[in-house]
Amino acid sequence: MKINNKFTYRYFVLFPLLVAQAGLAQNQQQYLISQLKVPENLKVPTGQTLVQKVSANGTQIYQCKAKADNPNEFEWTLKAPRANLFDDKGQKIGKHYAGPTWEANDGSKVVGQVKSRANSPNQSAIPWLLLEAKSNEGNGIFSKVKYIQRVNTVGGKAPTTGCDKTHTNSQLSVNYSSNYYFYEAVP
């Protein structure tokens, strides 16, 4: 009986402290994310709330093509991203591919379109982006997403050499990583 009393005492004394600590950690994470330093043009509109943060690891796939304004000059152009998406615990929760599309393991998807971009502070990395949802599918974590930020990019930039007439339509993959923040409208 004494053991039960000790357990009961500890439970009622410690449980509220654990709940408070968990709430504090969640509020602290929300605060840190809300304080993300992004250029003004990459901030989401008011009335949005962060619903998911993921890290992406994969490649940016480029294709050698003639420039639109000068068919005698060639450049590497983005064909598609290909990356896995991971939560804060390192668990794979989805994938990122052409569209650009983010698809969660729960079947939900969001397809985005670029609203604005800014150079990455890391000069050898692809730009940071603000994207707006073009379409959503399913009933999961991405089904109501309205805005996506791509930040903290590493790598992924197209090479500046190796693309000429003899390499037309050839492809190459460049490793990259980034963080994606997904936002929904506040109900």
DSSP track, 44-91: PPTTEEEEEEEEEEEEEEEEEEEETTEEEEEEEEEEEEEEEEE-TTS-
pLDDT of residue 187: 79
| pLDDT < 50 regions, the chain | 1, 7-35
pLDDT of residue 4: 55
Mean pLDDT of the chain: 87
Q: How many residues does the chain have?
A: 187
* pTM of model > 0.75: yes
pLDDT of residue 77: 96
